[in-house]
Amino acid sequence: MKLFEDKFKLFFNDLVLQKFKDECLLKSRDAFAVKNGNIPKWTSALDEINAFKKGDLDLNEPYISIKNIGASSDTIEASLKKLLPWRKGPYILNDLKLESEWLGDLKWQRLKNKIKPLHNKRVLDVGAGNGYFTMRMALEGAKQAIGVEPFLLFNYQYAAIDALFKNNLNSILLPLRLEELPNMPVFDSVFSMGVLYHQRDHMEHLSLLKKMMSPESELILETLIVDGPKNFKLTPEGRYANMRNVYCLPSIETLKSWLDDADFKNIEVIDISQTTPTEQRKTSWIGDNPASLEDFLHPSDSSLTIEGYPAPKRAIVICKN
Ligand SMILES: C[S@@+](CC[C@H](N)C(=O)[O-])C[C@H]1O[C@@H](n2cnc3c(N)ncnc32)[C@H](O)[C@@H]1O
């Protein structure tokens, strides 16, 4: 599969990651080989993008920026809109602003000066979405930033952005779940952002994250929380803020106790933020009938979700292996 194999071989030019590489290559090939009726459309978007003269990657906060792409904004937009919905970003491509649903830079600013520097480090980004943050990690100078994300569309989005620039960025996105990775304690920083509440078994997720961490490694965990005392947690019935598969939202003290039980050390809460419609917003890059957080909050009380649960609040916790 041309989508990722060219980059894959260059990227894993690393003896430590040799075993990791071989297993991931086989599993990634299988993941891309599934039947999905959207693949012809997504492939045509990539073919169009691959024909453009490649541009220059840079950071123009809040955007990941690519200048000097050899195509008009209308042409770039038409190709990228074959890959809707764009949840994560934003990007600026020549003059075209790809305003994704999430203004990802806000999350990055909350944590970037509080984590161990990523320069020259091996970094794992679990549940990476379309790899916006994986690219931000590589732009911080990571030696290797590996994102894993099982949802195929997001892998095509990553490939589309990656194909727009000619720079060598040390990042890759693989179409895999954390559970599919060989357990290898080789990463200096492991990120799990927006993933824990999607797990049926949150302790299993924490334990698998730990297995990927080198002895001096740091975990950066971002997740939904609710107000409440130690041991309090919310288990939504049905959807939460319109999201499916939200299993368990702990209080901050409960979250700390989970991390403690999973044997993490130096547990430090670096941020707690209410999620606002400025950060998760309705844009034309979601699709024709966009709906976002403002539609998922209670019409008469924005402190609640439409289902009547406390509105989304997120914590970022850093801890050591
Ligand atoms: C809410 S998104 C978060 C994306 C990004 N990390 C961020 O912070 O914006 C969660 C992503 O995690 C992925 N995911 C869920 N369970 C996963 C698992 N066990 N391993 C890897 N990815 C997972 C989902 O497919 C989804 O795209």
Give the mutation target among 112, 149, 199 for probing the ligand 1 site: most ligand atoms within 8 A of CB: 149
Phi, psi of 199 (to 5 degrees): -95, 135
Summarize the confidence of residues 88-110 as an average pLDDT. Answer: 98
If one compares 300 and 1, the residue with the highest pLDDT of the two is 300
Is 140 in contact with 106 (CB distance < 8 Å)? no
Is 148 in contact with 181 (CB distance < 8 Å)? yes
> Which pLDDT value is given to residue 17?
86
> Which pLDDT value is given to residue 84?
98
Summarize the confidence of residues 265-270 as an average pLDDT. Answer: 98
CB of 88 closer than 6 A to ligand 1? yes
Q: What is the 3-state secondary structure (H, E, C) of 234-290?
A: ECCCCCECCECCCCCEECHHHHHHHHHHCCCEEEEEEEEEECCCCCECCCCCCCCCC
Q: Where is average pLDDT lowest: 64-73, 269-278, 287-296?
A: 287-296
CB of 194 closer than 6 A to ligand 1? yes
> Which pLDDT value is given to residue 274?
98
Q: What is the CATH number of the domain that holds 39?
A: 3.40.50.150
Is 146 in contact with 126 (CB distance < 8 Å)? no
Cα 87 to averaged position of ligand 1 atoms, centre (Å): 12
Q: 184-196 burial by CB neighbour count: b if 16+ within 10 A, else e?
A: bebbbbbbbbbbb
Following CA atoms 260, 263, 266, 268 in sequence, which dihedral angle do they give, to the nearest 10 degrees? -40
Q: pLDDT tens for residues 55-73?
A: 999 999 999 999 999 999 9
Cα 199 to averaged position of ligand 1 atoms, centre (Å): 10
Model confidence band, residue 2 (pLDDT cutoffs 50, 70, 90)? low
What is the distance between the terminal CA atoms of the chain, rounded to a whole angstrom? 36
Model confidence band, residue 247 (pLDDT cutoffs 50, 70, 90)? very high
CB of 127 closer than 6 A to ligand 1? yes
CB of 151 closer than 6 A to ligand 1? yes
Which atom of ligand 1 has the smallest separation from the CA of 151?
A: 25
Residue 15 has pLDDT above 90, yes or no: no
Residue 189 has pLDDT above 60, yes or no: yes
Q: What percentage of the chain exceeds 70 in pLDDT?
A: 99
Prior bond of 175 cis (ω within 30°) = no
> Which pLDDT value is given to residue 152?
97
Residue 1 has pLDDT above 60, yes or no: no
Prior bond of 229 cis (ω within 30°) = no
Angle at which helix 39-50 crosses helix 152-162, to 10 degrees, equals 10
- Residue 246 tokens read as 């939200």
Domain with 188, as residue range(s), is: 2-320
Query: Which strand (E) or helix (H) includes residue 115?
Result: none
> Which pLDDT value is given to residue 211?
98
Structurally, how many domains does the chain consist of? 1
Q: What percentage of the chain exceeds 90 in pLDDT?
A: 91
Which atom of ligand 1 has the smallest separation from the CA of 154?
A: 27
Beta bridge partners of 301: 298
Summarize the confidence of residues 223-238 as an average pLDDT. Answer: 97
CB of 209 closer than 6 A to ligand 1? no
Q: pLDDT tens for residues 103-137?
A: 999 999 999 999 999 999 999 999 999 999 999 99
**Which residues, 6 or more positions from 89, have their beta carbon under 8 angstroms from its beta carbon?**
63, 64, 98, 99, 100, 102, 104, 130, 132, 285
For the CA atoms of the chain, what is the radius of gyration? Answer: 19
The CA-atom distances, in angstroms, between 288 and each of 147, 154, 285 are: 29, 19, 8
**Which residues, 6 or more positions from 197, have their beta carbon under 8 angstroms from its beta carbon?**
223, 224, 246, 247, 248, 249
> Which pLDDT value is given to residue 66?
98
The DSSP 8-state label assigned to residue 52 in this structure reads: S
Average pLDDT over the chain reads: 96
Query: Which strand (E) or helix (H) includes residue 67?
Result: strand 63-67
Give the global pTM: 0.97
If one compares 2 and 224, the residue with the highest pLDDT of the two is 224
The CA-atom distances, in angstroms, between 63 and each of 12, 145, 181 are: 27, 19, 30
Q: pLDDT tens for residues 142-173?
A: 999 999 999 999 999 999 999 999 998 999 99
Q: Whose CA is nearest to atom 27 of ligand 1?
A: 129
Beta bridge partners of 161: none
